Amino acid sequence: MRNLKAEVVRNAAKLRGWDVILKELCPEIDDRAFQKPGRHTKCPVHGVAGRGGDGFKFFRKDFQDSGGGMCNTCGTFPDGFKMLMWLKGYGFADAVAEVGAFLGIHSTADENQQAKVNRANEKALEARRKEIADKEAASNLYHSKRLNELWKASLPLTHPDAEPARLYLASRKILCWDRVGVDKVVRYHPSLASYNEDGEFEGDFPGMVAKVTKAGKPITLHRYFLTPKGEKAPVQSPKKMCMYPTDRLVTGGGIFIGSWDEVVVDVCEGLETAWAIETGTNFAVRVHPLVNATLLEGFEPGPSTKLVRIWIDKDRSGRGEEAGLNLKKRLWEMGIQAQLLTPSLPLLEGEKSVDWNDVLLKLGRMGFPQARRAA
């Protein structure tokens, strides 16, 4: 039945558990997403088999209660109704009706009966809300402590022990790891524990840690797992963001070395890309890596900024370019000029993406815009 009371259905859904409901109604979602909320799986809407799109997950902290989740590309869906609207192309009333039907609420009589059940279970629901909140607070404390410990055990990239990091950067032809201010933001770590998306331990590796901040406030650490010889570590994802307290928001954040509130600001996705551009332009520009396409898209300029140069990745999926264009559009709407700089290399058959680090590796400084070099 359409026009059911959303609150009645919502509370009934909480009582049954959104995990149970969505598993039944959405066979298109990868089972592994249900097994471990917070785990990334293929996006049921934009993911293509064998071609990436692994940005979908359910919320780790309250999935059973909220039914919410997000895809790095498609957006955030805070509750089970929004999730169904996105997945099935429903309007709100259709989503409520479908969940109602699944829970046996077909008529006004069913609805009244369910409202009674909900009221009888109010205390149980409240107790569960509190349990989730307590768990969240404990987990937040754990994550902030862990981030501090990780950072405390790190060393400057110039330290004699940091050779694996320097070997890695040298293999990318990057020369600016020793410039002023780097040691406050990007450092070497002798032993980073790596776990895959299923939570399985993959080993301890040397690597780099980079502080992700937002308006100067620390949010989390981004990790680069390496081998002692300075190659990418043989793990599922050699670059991973640490988990961070849920009361911090990473959107608008990035890896900022020095001031980001300048008249002209340069931004890109990856740390290696940023440092490759700095090396390639003979240090004429300073580039802030914003970690990934989603954070690039969400960049928040400071009050002094008049122009943002966006050095994009050329991806097979088109995601890098899309993120750059979205940022450019938002900046223009704010009255800030924006310019996209696309890598001067073609995307060859079989390649997933080309970035400015590839330009430095293949073309050297010749591959970088002349004006930038003279700037």
Note the residues at the interface with Zn ion (CB under 5 A): 43, 45-46, 71, 73-74
Q: Rounded to whole angstroms, how far apart are CA atoms 255 and 274?
A: 10
Closest to 242 in 3D by CA, of 148, 155, 323, 162: 148
Instruction: Give the shortest CB-251-to-Zn ion separation in angstroms.
Output: 17
Instruction: Give the shortest CB-87-to-Zn ion separation in angstroms.
Output: 10
Instruction: Give the shortest CB-77-to-Zn ion separation in angstroms.
Output: 10
Instruction: Give the shortest CB-353-to-Zn ion separation in angstroms.
Output: 18
Length of the chain: 375
Q: Is residue 315 within 8 Å of 217, Cβ to Cβ?
A: no
The tokens for 27 are: 């066979």
- Alpha-carbon dihedral 12, 35, 319, 272, rounded to 10 degrees: 130
Instruction: Give the shortest CB-45-to-Zn ion separation in angstroms.
Output: 5
Specify the pairing of strand 307-311 against strand 264-268: parallel
- Residue 32 to residues 52, 60, 80, 106, 196, Cα–Cα distance (Å): 16, 13, 18, 31, 13
Nearer to Zn ion, 45 or 235 (CB): 45
Going through 8-95 in order, the beta strands assigned E by DSSP cover: 56-58, 69-71, 75-77
Instruction: Give the shortest CB-73-to-Zn ion separation in angstroms.
Output: 4
Nearer to Zn ion, 71 or 83 (CB): 71
Using CB atoms within 10 Å of the CB of residue 3, give its burial: 0 to 12 exposed, 13 to 18 middle, 19+ buried.
exposed
Instruction: Give the shortest CB-191-to-Zn ion separation in angstroms.
Output: 35
The helix, strand and coil proportions of the chain, stated in percent and rounded to the nearest 5, come to 40, 20, 40
Q: Rounded to whole angstroms, how far apart are CA atoms 272 and 210?
A: 12
Please give the DSSP secondary-structure letter assigned to residue 260.
Answer: -
Instruction: Give the shortest CB-192-to-Zn ion separation in angstroms.
Output: 29
